[in-house]
Structure 1
Amino acid sequence: MKEILTLIKEGNKPSLLAAIVNTVIAILKAIAFLLTGNIAMFAEMLHSLGDAANQFFVYIGSALSKKAPTPKFPNGFGRVVNLVCLGAVIVVAIMSYEAIIGGWHHILNPVESGGFVLNLSVLGIAIALEFFVLYKAGKEVLHEAGIQNGGLAAPITVSFRHLNRAKPATKLVFMEDLVATMGGILAFVAVLLAHFLGLLVAEGIASILIGLMMFYVVGKVFLENAKGAIGETDEEMLNHIAHLVAQDPDVKDIQRVEVLKEGEFLHVEVVAEVDSSHTVAYVDDVRDRLLDLILQQKGVREVLISFDEDDGVSTWKKANSSETIQQFSSKLPE
């Protein structure tokens, strides 16, 4: 029990914050929908409920993924977060479907809803809270990408360019709250159009658009976490680590480098060539030196290094080039 509580504390903080905020928002939207019957509010309620459940499970998954390897599971639990994200998107997919169906029925049979002020107030609060979570998630994206300074607006603007370098849980929170903020704005505009211009179908259209945006998140998150669950190569880190190994004065050549994503962490395997005249003790010192160096790299959790004698045939060409990435990627198991 103590181990579980310790792991829970190490879970992804942005996802926990997002889960709490979205729970509060979902309750507010549910009350507003029950009092007014507004279909756009219904879609937003489903959206927030889906996000809250999703992000809570992602938080638990990110915590469990940090569990240390055991004799029964020697490869660790890094990919648990990917599996949890895959399960979580099912919840969002169901909510997306309900939002689209509800919006379609409203377009076919538009009904005027009341509570104009209440709807706008709840949506305004929701948009502000969603934007707050989005901003915090954007800051976490920049932190995980190693971006120190970017200005006040960087968490919203610069973070898009570095989203692929964020942890799966952080990326999921950022994408979901981006869509949630946009969905809130859509619903807000729809309520205004229905009230002032009598365009009752605007609320149904907003509901469908919100559902479609949720489906986009479902597809994006599913594909990315499916790759993570299977085992995806981090090509940028592969090139970087191969370059570090090749710079070691005792490494004559590199036969193989593998850098696989294990959830939030990286699993590295290196096969290098050394001079056959070196003693076992000397080569062991080289291994320890390389091991310490690679473990210092961001996200690396496990490293396996093995050696072979120099065969005089150059396998490693040059670092930091697309040729290098293609060369080593072609050696990974299919």
Structure 2
Amino acid sequence: MNDLFKLLKQGNRSALLAAIVNTIIAIIKGAAYLFTGNVAMFAETMHSLGDAANQFFVYVGTALSKRAPNDRFPGGFGRLVHLVLLGAVLIVGIMAYETIVEGYHHILHPAESKGLLLIIAILAAATILEVFVLFKAMKEILHDADIKASGFSIVTKSLSNFKRGKPATRLVFMEDTVAAAGGLLAIAAVLISHYTPFHEAEGIASILIGVMMFLVVGKVFLDNARGVLGESDVEMEQKIGEMVMKDPDVKDVGEVVVIKEGDQLHVELEIEINPAMSFAEADDIKDRIEEQVRSQRGVTDVTIELDEDDGIPRWNSNSAGSKK
């Protein structure tokens, strides 16, 4: 049990925070829906429930992926987070379907809901909380990318470096972006329905929110399907190759492969050195380079193959990840 608690402490904090916030929001929205019968509030309730369940599974998955390798699974559990995320998006998909169906029924049978001030107050408060979680996810992305920013540059830099964030953090970012946009859309629909005869607006808003949820499902599914298969990190391959080439004893870099498994990076590196060097000197070079590579964020294991320099330059900034 103690080992489990230790693992849970290593789970993605953005996902845990988002799960807690969305659970609270879902309870409040659900109570408001039961009181008012507002279909836009139903859509937002389903959205928050889906996000909360999804993000909780993500948190648990990122924690379990930190388990150390064992005899049965010598490669470790890094890809477990991708499997968990693939399962989690099914929950969001079901919620999205129910949201669209409910919106469609409301369009066919529009009805004016009650409790305008209560609905607007809850949706506004929920949207503010979603924006808060979204901002935390933006800062987490910058932390993953090792980039410092302040003020409005946090928004712009997190968007430009979105792909460098961890899978779980990217999921929270996407879900809360859609949640914040959905909250604003629901507020607009409620106001239109209340002040005009166009009561179908709430149903249309519900369908649009469901469609946005499906877009997140598709994006997360594709990203994590690649992760399960073992996607390479080309940017890190180039960074490591250029770093190793700066070592005075390295004559050439024959190959760099960096495989992403959840938050972990596995590095395979082939370098060429002077064939006249002794075994002890070559071993010292290998140890020195391995230490440098391991110092990079996310790198958990390094495999280095030494070869003698054949005098043919192979490395360039665009050659990472392929056999030379």
Shorter-chain TM-score above 0.5: yes
Q: Which residue of 2 aligns with 1:311?
A: 310
SS at match of 1:4: helix
Deviations along 1:112-157, one digit per CA (max 9) or x if unpaired, are 11121221121111111111111111111112122212x3223333
Structure-2 separation of matches of 1:240 and 1:127: 39
Matches within 5 A, 1:47-66: 47-66=47-66
Structure-1 separation of matches of 2:155 and 2:110: 36
Deviations along 1:268-319, one digit per CA (max 9) or x if unpaired, are 0011122222121111101100001101112211111111222233222x33
Q: Which residue of 1 aligns with 2:117?
A: 117
Q: Which residue of 2 aligns with 1:257?
A: 256
Shift of 1:201: 0.5
1:86 aligned partner, one-letter code? L
Selected match of 2:322 from 315, 318, 330: 330
Structure-2 separation of matches of 1:261 and 1:130: 29
Structure-1 separation of matches of 2:298 and 2:30: 40
Q: Which residue of 1 aligns with 2:67?
A: 67
Equivalent pairs, count: 324
Q: Which residue of 2 aligns with 1:301?
A: 300
Deviations along 1:28-75, one digit per CA (max 9) or x if unpaired, are 111011111111111100000000000000000111111111122111
Shift of 1:204: 0.4
Q: Which residue of 1 aligns with 2:20?
A: 20
Q: Which residue of 2 aligns with 1:202?
A: 201
Q: Which residue of 1 aligns with 2:269?
A: 270
2:298 aligned partner, one-letter code? G
SS at match of 2:265: strand
Structure 2 length-normalised TM: 0.97
CA contact 1:136–1:155 (8 Å) conserved in 2? no
Structure-1 separation of matches of 2:123 and 2:240: 48
1:262 aligned partner, one-letter code? E
1:44 aligned partner, one-letter code? E
CA contact 2:112–2:199 (8 Å) conserved in 1? yes
SS at match of 2:77: coil
Identity of aligned residues (%): 55
CA contact 2:255–2:322 (8 Å) conserved in 1? no
Q: Which residue of 1 aligns with 2:291?
A: 292
Structure-2 separation of matches of 1:272 and 1:330: 13
Structure-2 separation of matches of 1:152 and 1:251: 42
1:126 aligned partner, one-letter code? A
Q: Which residue of 1 aligns with 2:99?
A: 99
Deviations along 1:4-33, one digit per CA (max 9) or x if unpaired, are 110101111110000000000000111011
Structure-2 separation of matches of 1:290 and 1:157: 35
Deviations along 1:166-206, one digit per CA (max 9) or x if unpaired, are 00111100110010000011111111011111210000010
Structure-2 separation of matches of 1:15 and 1:256: 36
Structure-2 separation of matches of 1:157 and 1:191: 31
SS at match of 2:256: strand
Structure-1 separation of matches of 2:190 and 2:26: 18
Shift of 1:331: 2.9
SS at match of 2:118: helix
CA contact 2:273–2:308 (8 Å) conserved in 1? yes
Structure-1 separation of matches of 2:170 and 2:240: 24
Q: Which runs of 5+ in 2 are unaligned?
A: none
Structure-1 separation of matches of 2:266 and 2:183: 40
Q: Which residue of 2 aligns with 1:216?
A: 215
Deviations along 1:234-292, one digit per CA (max 9) or x if unpaired, are 11110111111122222222221101111112110011122222121111101100001
Structure-1 separation of matches of 2:137 and 2:147: 14
Structure-2 separation of matches of 1:227 and 1:12: 20
1:281 aligns with 2:280: yes
Q: Which residue of 1 aligns with 2:175?
A: 176
SS at match of 1:157: helix
Deviations along 1:70-97, one digit per CA (max 9) or x if unpaired, are 1221111111111111111110011111
2:196 aligned partner, one-letter code? L
2:227 aligned partner, one-letter code? G
Structure 1 length-normalised TM: 0.94
SS at match of 2:231: coil
SS at match of 1:55: helix
